[in-house]
Chains A and B, each alone.
Chain A
Amino acid sequence: MNTLIFRTVAPFLTALMALFSIFVLLRGHNEPGGGFIGGLIAVSALAIFGIANGIAAVRRALWFHPMAISAFGLFIACLAGLLSAAFGVPFMTGLWITPTVLGVEIPLSSVMLFDTGVYLVVVGAITSIALALEAGDDV
């Protein structure tokens, strides 16, 4: 797969897919999409980048170790559940705030925080599996 065309297109494709994965993550609250499927799209993006430019490039581009990314996702997903403790409602109850930024109402919720956590868990876990399979030895 190491053709000139593929190597030239891969970064653009990766960027586009990463953007699309975030779009899918955010629309997931009421429509098809969400953290899991968004995460898988992001992993596909990274996989394409890896096939074109090698694993080292993916690791550099990620900056954090994929395992740490998935751990951070797990962390914020837990935190999103524990937020409810402050409001006297049961674990993992959806909490909403709608701040107005520049005249636009932005609905934010603990559900979205949880879904972002799922997204990161999927991105981190599947990427580290993919990279390990690609590399063959060192995890």
Chain B
Amino acid sequence: MAANPADLSAALVLTPVPAADWLVVLPPAWCLLVGAVLLMLRKSLHLQALIAIPALAVLVVIDALLLAHVAANGPVTMVMGRWLPPFGIAFTADLTGVLFALAGAVVAFAGSVHALADIDASGRRYGFYPFLLLLMAGVSGAFLTGDIFNLYVWFEVLLISSFGLITLGSEPRQIDGAIKYAFLNLVATTLFLVTTGYLYGIFGTLNMADIAVKAAAGRAELPLMTLATLYFLAFGMKAAAFPVNFWLPASYHTPRVVVSALFAGLLTKVGIYALLRTLVMLFPVEREELSFLIAIVGVATMLLGALGALGQSDIRRLLGYVVISGIGVILAGLSLGSPGGIGGAIFYALHSMVVMTALYMAAGLAGRLAGSFDLNRLGGLYSRSALFSALSLVLFFAASGLPPFSGFWPKVMVAKAAIDIGAWWLTASVFLAGFLTTIALGRVFALAYWRAEVRGLPAQSIPASALLPLAGLTALTVVFGLFPDALLSLVQHAEQSLANPDAYIGSVFPGGK
């Protein structure tokens, strides 16, 4: 080094990296590592769950530690290969990203346990657990990366793993669902890539903190409206916003139930996260311009989702529409842009990750107990298992946004934020959508749970490995419904750091920009 007089500190990180900063890259790296091990042990079916479930528990712990670290010290950045941003790829965890990552890890952990009962040997032979770990690598990476092209790469990682999961078993019906899912998601991902190409052409940088700085500086002459609109379309497609949401009901009922559960919990929320990141942090002024459009899309998504749920007789299809309706509420929050709106959107997304996963698990168990997913044939679930019925009812209420469960608070936040700016129609649609969802899910409860059994079925018991994750997720929605204060304050801080990303930028460029 002595022969080389170049000032390395201009290009490289030369200060030692604190061990705690490793938490930022650990979630995706850990998932990739364990996913690789599981793939090597593909033929040892008995080892798969034995490795995957503890590994996902470790992922939950890593994300929880990262949350504690970020909550205490603000956003944390680690750059790849010690190259300084904006040239090195940065991983930056702020509260929004970490909250999403933690909720995702909890959902995946619950899913991995639930899969013990739901995924048979053939599903494991096709590689359920390796795909799950690689999916989580993609999901965690997407939530924690600070580089928009890297975000695209993680989208690809999770998309490819999800193709594997959705075709698990290779039944013709699944291939049919997978083709619709794959095609439309590829269109969205391509649009994302094209837009990122434009963005790179405009800014000459892909680092999100750098983009935020440059966008704020050169807003007047740069064509940022185009970028914001294209991102809204691309990520709206991912998040299943009307009118580009038809891929979701067409595909979510075809895979194994636990796969649907994980998709409902994770995939659309990655789209929501990307919307929040781009529209709130990078292009807030353009989001303001688009707010009426976003609100219209949100209202259409939530109402048509709820109406779609009313019209379905297959529970899994019905839940697909409930997922969509929830996305509408999140978009309504996004359109408002006020602290209450964005905070409500983040809170609702976290709530929806947990509750939608649990609801699909409940649907799977209902199907297992009563031998059908068809509301015309289901019946007598209450007499078969009162505990399971109680859990389901809690989840139905939570998904409809009734108190005292976790869906209530974000809806109140969004509704109040809408009233504050006089958008009574937005508030009305949030409540109308909640009302319609209550009817749709109440109909499920009345028909599948309360109605007397249609025909004699062999007595089926619910295995503990299927019931425990369901109970755990339900407990989460009850706890955060009854004691929302801690989560509310986290969400408010997350919203502040998203709307005012000075701390985020400071973490990427410690020397100032």
Q: Please list the residues of chain A having a beta carbon within 8 angstroms of any beta carbon in chain B.
A: 65, 67-68, 70-72, 74-75, 78-79, 81-82, 85, 88-94
Inter-subunit contact B78/A72 (CB<8 Å): no
What's the Cα separation between A39 and B424 when bound, in Å? 60
B80 on interface, CB distance cutoff 8 Å: yes
Q: Which chain A positions have C-beta within 8 A of B33?
A: 75, 78-79, 82
A92 to chain B, nearest CB (A): 5
Taking A90-B80, A90-B81, A91-B78 as contacts, is the C-beta distance between A74 and B13 under 8 angstroms? Answer: no
Taking A78-B29, A78-B32, A90-B13 as contacts, is the C-beta distance between A71 and B82 under 8 angstroms? Answer: no
Smallest CB gap from A139: residue in B: B126
What's the Cα separation between A74 and B78 when bound, in Å? 21
- B40 interface neighbour in A72, A85, A92, A93, Cβ under 8 Å: A72
Inter-subunit contact A81/B17 (CB<8 Å): no
- State the majority secondary structure of interface residues on A: helix
Within 8 A of A (CB), among B26-80: 29, 32-33, 35-40, 42-43, 78-80
Inter-subunit contact A92/B39 (CB<8 Å): no
Q: Which chain A positions have C-beta within 8 A of B91?
A: 91
A–B Cβ pairs within 8 angstroms, 18 of them: A67-B42, A68-B39, A71-B37, A74-B35, A74-B36, A78-B29, A81-B29, A88-B17, A89-B17, A90-B13, A90-B79, A90-B80, A90-B81, A91-B25, A91-B80, A91-B81, A91-B91, A94-B81
What's the Cα separation between A58 and B129 when bound, in Å? 28
Inter-subunit contact A90/B39 (CB<8 Å): no
Q: Please list the residues of chain B having a beta carbon within 8 angstroms of any beta carbon in chain A.
A: 13, 16-17, 19, 21-22, 25, 29, 32-33, 35-40, 42-43, 78-82, 91, 130
What's the Cα separation between A82 and B33 when bound, in Å? 10
- A74 interface neighbour in B22, B32, B79, Cβ under 8 Å: B32
Smallest CB gap from A81: residue in B: B29
A84 to chain B, nearest CB (A): 8
What's the Cα separation between A136 and B29 when bound, in Å? 34
Inter-subunit contact A65/B17 (CB<8 Å): no
What's the Cα separation between A78 and B29 when bound, in Å? 7
Q: Which chain B positions have C-beta within 8 A of A88?
A: 16-17
- B81 interface neighbour in A75, A79, A93, Cβ under 8 Å: A93
Inter-subunit contact B35/A85 (CB<8 Å): no
Inter-subunit contact A82/B29 (CB<8 Å): yes
Q: Which chain A positions have C-beta within 8 A of B25?
A: 81, 91
What's the Cα separation between A94 and B80 when bound, in Å? 10
What's the Cα separation between A79 and B37 when bound, in Å? 12
Q: Which chain A positions have C-beta within 8 A of B40?
A: 68, 71-72, 75
Inter-subunit contact B22/A89 (CB<8 Å): no
Inter-subunit contact A75/B78 (CB<8 Å): no
Q: Which chain B positions have C-beta within 8 A of A79?
A: 33
Q: Which chain A positions have C-beta within 8 A of B16?
A: 88-89
Q: Which chain B positions have C-beta within 8 A of A75?
A: 33, 36-37, 40
Inter-subunit contact A90/B82 (CB<8 Å): yes
- B42 interface neighbour in A68, A85, A89, Cβ under 8 Å: A68
What's the Cα separation between A134 and B280 when bound, in Å? 49
Q: Which chain B positions have C-beta within 8 A of A92?
A: 80-81
What's the Cα separation between A78 and B35 when bound, in Å? 11
Q: Which chain A positions have C-beta within 8 A of B82?
A: 89-90, 93
Q: Which chain B positions have C-beta within 8 A of A65?
A: 42-43
Q: A65-B42, A88-B17, A90-B21 are in contact. List 6 more A-B contacts (CB 8 A).
A: A67-B42, A68-B39, A71-B130, A85-B19, A90-B79, A91-B22
Inter-subunit contact B13/A89 (CB<8 Å): yes
What's the Cα separation between A78 and B80 when bound, in Å? 13
What's the Cα separation between A94 and B35 when bound, in Å? 24
What 7 A-B pairs are tightest by C-beta distance, nearest first? A71-B39, A75-B36, A74-B36, A88-B16, A71-B40, A93-B82, A78-B33
What's the Cα separation between A78 and B27 when bound, in Å? 12
Inter-subunit contact B39/A74 (CB<8 Å): yes
Inter-subunit contact A67/B36 (CB<8 Å): no
B110 to chain A, nearest CB (A): 25
What's the Cα separation between A65 and B127 when bound, in Å? 14
Q: Which chain A positions have C-beta within 8 A of B32?
A: 74, 78
Q: Which chain B positions have C-beta within 8 A of A94?
A: 81
**Which has the most chain B C-beta neighbours within 10 Å: A67, A72, A81, A91?**
A91
B160 to chain A, nearest CB (A): 11
Smallest CB gap from B39: residue in A: A71
Q: Which chain B positions have C-beta within 8 A of A81?
A: 25, 29
- B29 interface neighbour in A68, A70, A72, A91, Cβ under 8 Å: A91
Smallest CB gap from A68: residue in B: B40
What's the Cα separation between A88 and B22 when bound, in Å? 10
Smallest CB gap from A110: residue in B: B81
A98 to chain B, nearest CB (A): 14
Smallest CB gap from B32: residue in A: A78
What's the Cα separation between A78 and B39 when bound, in Å? 14
Q: Which chain B positions have C-beta within 8 A of A82?
A: 29, 33
Q: Which chain B positions have C-beta within 8 A of A70?
A: 39
What's the Cα separation between A89 and B15 when bound, in Å? 8
Smallest CB gap from A74: residue in B: B36
Inter-subunit contact B78/A71 (CB<8 Å): no
B431 to chain A, nearest CB (A): 47
What's the Cα separation between A65 and B78 when bound, in Å? 36
B13 to chain A, nearest CB (A): 6
What's the Cα separation between A68 and B39 when bound, in Å? 6
